[in-house]
Amino acid sequence: MSDDLYTDAPAWKRLLTWWRRRGVHLHHATGGHTRVHDRSSRGDGGEVPRALIMAPSIGAGFCEDGRRVGCVLIHGLSSTPESMRGIGRAFAAGGIDVEGVCLPGHGTRAEDLEGVTWSDWFEAVRETVQRMRERCDRVFVCGQSLGGTLALHTAANEKVDGVITLAAVLYLRDWRLWMLPVLKHVMRWRHSPGNDIAKPGVTDVGSYGRMPLSSVHELVQLGRIVHSELPRIRVPALVIHGAEDHVAPASTAAEIYAHIGSQHKEILRLRRSYHVVSLDNDFDLVVDRSLRFIRNVGYERASMPDPGR
């Protein structure tokens, strides 16, 4: 006690001064919280003190963690991450962390696709999702064409919070597909339809002009697997598809929507776009609808279900 407590002041006043100073010391010692002690009974009939943390002082600062939301962007077969860069920039401007994957065998030369399997592509996506999960509370996958197929496969097998497909491929319409297991050893190459874009003068820069038939076979195999996995996908889904897609039939969107197991699912049909919707006439609509979907799901979901449940 300080010397002013030993003055001629009345005893009640000296006690009040001591109690006030004791409260100040406790406030600083507990980092802005006030600790009071209660008495609790022990098993032997005695009493032990119990510290209770009261509400912080109204004058104390505070810090609360928010939710950081990210999205992995996946390009299509024979394309490059550049085809998704516009969407990535728009997402980032909207406050979403983004990372674009470069799938194995892409971004170099068409010959590098030979020998690459769909499992190799999926592993690249899975690693990117796990890396983003380390810095984000909510992680979405958004893929175009083959990338959309991979996004669905990821949603069925990895921990993500939502999936967006842009012209995803479940099947192709070509009567020769049944011969692919043999044909790929006889005819190594086929023309790449990567520039199926309605907007005049726009091309998918960096897209290969050709692709190995073995890569087409890998895509077809993955499409069949994903079709069987659709009921297992429980996370929210946004399905986007061009009404005049010349690569992945427009009916694919309805097929995904009908069979996916998600309770929260949306579908958007684009009237002015072909296959490469990230570069086509409905770009602004795709970005606006996707951002609304990510924000609604990413900031409102309280928990993330395990894949397959």
**What does the pLDDT look like over 245-304, one tens digit per residue?**
988 999 999 999 999 999 999 999 999 999 999 999 999 999 999 999 999 998 875 444
Report all structural domains of the chain as residue ranges with CATH numbers, in order of start.
Answer: 3-53 (no CATH), 69-298 (3.40.50.1820)
- Give the catalytic positions in this structure: 145, 245, 275
Residue 143 pairs in a beta bridge with 74, 165
The band of 28, judged by pLDDT with boundaries at 50, 70 and 90, is very low
Rounded CA-CA distance 65/206 in Å is 40
Q: Report the mean per-residue pLDDT for the chain.
A: 81
Residue pLDDT, tens place only, 134-145: 999 999 999 999
CB 154 within 8 A of CB 141: yes
Q: What pLDDT, on the 0 to 100 scale, is given for residue 159?
A: 95
Instruction: Give every CB contact of residue 283 below 8 A, 6+ residues apart in sequence.
Output: 86, 87, 277
Confidence tier at 41 by pLDDT (50, 70, 90) = very low
Strands 162-166 and 138-144: parallel
Assign 186 a pLDDT band (cuts: 50, 70, 90): low
Q: Is the pLDDT of residue 37 over 70?
A: no
Mean pLDDT of 60-84: 84
